[in-house]
Structure 1
Amino acid sequence: MTIDAVIFDIGNVLIEWHPERYYDRVIGEARRRRLFAEVDLHAMNDRVDRGEDFTATIYATADAHPEWRDAIRQWHDNWIELASPVIEPSVALLRALRARGVPVFALTNFGIGSFAYARTQYPFLDEFDRSYVSGHMGVIKPDPRIYEMVEEDCGIAPGRLLFADDRPDNIRMAAARGWQTHLFEGPDGWGARLRAEGLLPAEAA
């Protein structure tokens, strides 16, 4: 089936997102394991991704766990170090698609404040034809509602959307709605899929 738009996840597709790696570096692996066992930081981040205030949510979590207060605040204060580096070959694929006139969207679990900040650091985040950011939508992947909202807004039939995401649960839900999907395991495989679909020329790197 013809593809009318390509949809990129952002975390671990365009920007690496490995908070554990950051904390291993700054507080050591043993303390990081204890911190993550005692405080559900990923659940905290999900709240931000659903639209809760970036600063207030993280700082309130930090205040609720005095032993870990400074470490938890780093999730906010040093956020750009958690969300790095850029996966440059994926950005090149995004730009190659747009150069060929292929509509390119983002569908990402991302907070309102954190996404606004990320845009100041990563200019390519302003290069999408449409950006679907969970914080603004009030729902996160893989809730089926977020995929439905994309369909309603863009007006493209699900089978004509090609979506890349690194999380199998997100991919499964998109596929269940009839989207074409690609489980992202690296830019080489993603580029090969785009070439196989005829969206990029065979000789494109």
Structure 2
Amino acid sequence: MGVDVVVFDVGNVLIRWDPRHLYRRLFEAEAEMERFLAEVCTDAWNIEQDRGRTWAEAIAERVALFPQHDALIRAYSERWQEMVPGEVEGTAAILDSLRAAGVPLYAITNFSAEKFAESAVRFPLLRGFRDVVVSAHERLIKPDPAIYRVLLERNGLDAARCLFVDDSEKNVRGAEAVGMRAHHFRDAPTLAAELARLGLLPGTPR
């Protein structure tokens, strides 16, 4: 059975995200920045916003635990857009080519509701999907198989006909666990080559 639907991750596939883009401006020493991100505003803390916790709740919880870092913690939300310097090079052009070829495009992303809304205003490429499953809206996080099933069931999609694209190996494996084909994203040229191999780009057999 051929693939005729493409499902994209957002962070570091379509738009670049790394808190270091902001915190390198706020710390003089790289080691101090890394300690802050490992001990205060951690990945585990941040993922709870992707699971649906509000930023107001998240900031209050961290400030209560680490009052000495009040301003640095608040910057994580107040200056969040500085963590996102722009689009990932080349992937917007791939989206345009797939859309021009009539390929149905969807997205599944681990993202806070508040920051996704901001990013959708800032980046028009996030508004062109037939459906976007946002983790915070569903209270589900990739690679939980349930979040992939939300997309499939809500849109009547056959998993075997979908290619899922994500920069996270574990999220790729999560998609495969529900029967989707998957591509571990590294860069746009490698993705374009895979899409051409599958016949999804213009000028290639379908």
| TM-score class normalised by the smaller sequence | over 0.9
Given that residues 111 and 135 in structure 2 are in contact (C-alpha distance below 8 angstroms), is that contact kept between their aligned partners in structure 1?
A: yes
Given that residues 41 and 62 in structure 2 are in contact (C-alpha distance below 8 angstroms), is that contact kept between their aligned partners in structure 1?
A: no
Which consecutive segments of 4 or more residues in structure 1 shift more than 4 A?
Answer: none
158-167 vs 171-180, greater mean Cα deviation:
171-180
Q: Distance in 2 between matches of 1:67 and 1:34?
A: 14
Unmatched segments (≥5 aa) in structure 1? none
Which residue does 2:202 correspond to in 1?
A: 201
Identity value in percent: 39
Q: CA RMSD in A?
A: 1.6
| Count of residue correspondences | 203
Change (3 A) 1:59 1:98: farther
Q: TM-score, normalised by structure 2?
A: 0.92
3-state SS, counterpart of residue 26 of structure 1: coil
| Structure 1 residue 44: Cα displacement | 1.9
Given that residues 5 and 102 in structure 1 are in contact (C-alpha distance below 8 angstroms), is that contact kept between their aligned partners in structure 2?
A: yes
3-state SS, counterpart of residue 26 of structure 2: helix
Which residue does 1:33 correspond to in 2?
A: 34
Once the two structures are superposed, the pairs formed by residues 58-137 of structure 1 within 5 Å of their partners are 58-137=59-138
Q: Distance in 2 between matches of 1:104 and 1:59?
A: 37
Amino acid at match of 2:6: V
18-27 vs 137-146, greater mean Cα deviation:
18-27
C-alpha offsets along residues 39-94 of structure 1, whole Å, 9 cap, x if unaligned?
25212211111111133323432343112211111111111111222114101111
Q: Distance in 2 between matches of 1:130 and 1:88?
A: 23
Given that residues 7 and 108 in structure 2 are in contact (C-alpha distance below 8 angstroms), is that contact kept between their aligned partners in structure 1?
A: yes
Q: TM-score, normalised by structure 1?
A: 0.93
C-alpha offsets along residues 77-135 of structure 1, whole Å, 9 cap, x if unaligned?
11111122211410111121111111100110001111111112111111111111101
Which residue does 2:14 correspond to in 1?
A: 14
| Structure 1 residue 32: Cα displacement | 0.8
